[in-house]
Amino acid sequence: MKPFRPHKTNIQADERIDQFMEGRLKLIQSKDGYRFSIDAILLSQFVTVRPGDVVVDLGTGCGVILLILLLTRKVGHAFGVEIQKDLASQAARNSLLNGFQDKMNIIIGDIRRPPMAKESADVIICNPPYRKVKSGRINPDPRRAIARHEILASVDDILQATTDILCKKGRLALIYPSVRLVDILARFRKYNLEPKRIQINYPNLESGAKLALIEATLGGKPGLEICPPLLGQGNWEN
């Protein structure tokens, strides 16, 4: 396992630095290509992280989820796994830009074969691709296409990777379309993951559900908490 370690936060011609959380979070992102979505923010607010936890983000993109957690929680160490080298570079430079280079490592790797030791993570986070390859128009930007469609990894690949590197009683948190909630819950027990918390996201009081945030425990006992509904962007400080 060889982390991606940049020594400078060089900005490429097609990138810019955006500021969030009243300037506490700085992010190098593409000007016109892949950029993080509200899904990542909701997931960072929802996941349970205990002091000292080792957190792994599968498909970390620009690293936004890990950086928010490092700013708001007592994370022991954070690892981001990303297969796309340009996004891995952004994530690694973002860790340096925000002063977390000693607590956050970015690894270029395939989440179907995660380059990490077994039972090495207390918490795994994933904002997975939602759509099957043959459903809907595939974005011509490959970074956006990989983020939205199951091109390089399926949900089953992610769940298998989770069982490989999550410690016993460790937690998986992910976000998924509400219309596919039954699909994901039906798969969990196949991988010895027991759903423990669910929160449904609604754009507003007049709209139907859009997203489902789910937290499961590896080898956990049955017992599911349905959290209060989440409206809009939650408590995100843009």
Q: Residue 10 pLDDT more than 70?
A: yes
The C-alpha atoms of residue 139 and residue 222 are separated, in whole angstroms, by 39
Instruction: Assign 127 to helix, strand or coil.
Output: coil
Give Cβ neighbours of residue 179 (< 8 Å, ≥ 6 apart). Answer: none
In-domain check, residue 85:
yes
Q: State how many domains the chain has.
A: 1
In-domain check, residue 44:
yes
In-domain check, residue 4:
no
What band does 24 get if pLDDT is binned at 50, 70 and 90?
very high
In-domain check, residue 37:
yes
CATH number at residue 92: 3.40.50.150
Q: What is the pTM of this model?
A: 0.87
The rounded mean pLDDT for the chain is 88
What band does 1 get if pLDDT is binned at 50, 70 and 90?
low
Q: Residue 12 pLDDT more than 50?
A: yes
User: What is the percentage of the chain residues whose pLDDT exceeds 70?
Assistant: 87
Q: Which residue has the higher pLDDT, 163 or 1?
A: 163
Q: What is the pLDDT of residue 201?
A: 95
Q: Residue 35 pLDDT more than 60?
A: yes
Residue-range definition of the domain harbouring residue 55:
13-173+180-192
The C-alpha atoms of residue 150 and residue 55 are separated, in whole angstroms, by 23
Q: How far is CA 90 from the centre of its chain?
A: 15
On whether the CB atoms of residues 59 and 84 are closer than 8 A, the answer is: no
In-domain check, residue 111:
yes
Q: How far is CA 105 from the centre of its chain?
A: 15
CA-to-CA separations, 231 to 128, 131, 173, 207, 235, in angstroms, rounded:
21, 23, 19, 10, 9
**pLDDT digits 0-9 by tens, 104-163:** 999 999 888 888 899 999 999 999 876 554 544 444 444 444 444 344 578 899 999 999
On whether the CB atoms of residues 162 and 124 are closer than 8 A, the answer is: yes
Q: What's the rounded mean pLDDT across residues 17-32?
A: 93
In-domain check, residue 208:
no
Instruction: Assign 130 to helix, strand or coil.
Output: coil
Q: What is the pLDDT of residue 2?
A: 59
Under DSSP, the state recorded for 137 is: P
The C-alpha atoms of residue 73 and residue 53 are separated, in whole angstroms, by 10
In-domain check, residue 87:
yes
Instruction: Assign 46 to helix, strand or coil.
Output: helix
The C-alpha atoms of residue 32 and residue 12 are separated, in whole angstroms, by 12
Q: What's the rounded mean pLDDT across residues 222-236?
A: 89
Q: Which residue has the higher pLDDT, 102 or 2?
A: 102
The C-alpha atoms of residue 235 and residue 144 are separated, in whole angstroms, by 25
On whether the CB atoms of residues 97 and 7 are closer than 8 A, the answer is: no
User: What is the percentage of the chain residues whose pLDDT exceeds 90?
Assistant: 71
In-domain check, residue 1:
no
Q: What is the pLDDT of residue 150?
A: 46
**pLDDT digits 0-9 by tens, 162-217:** 999 999 999 999 999 999 999 999 999 999 999 999 999 999 989 999 999 999 99
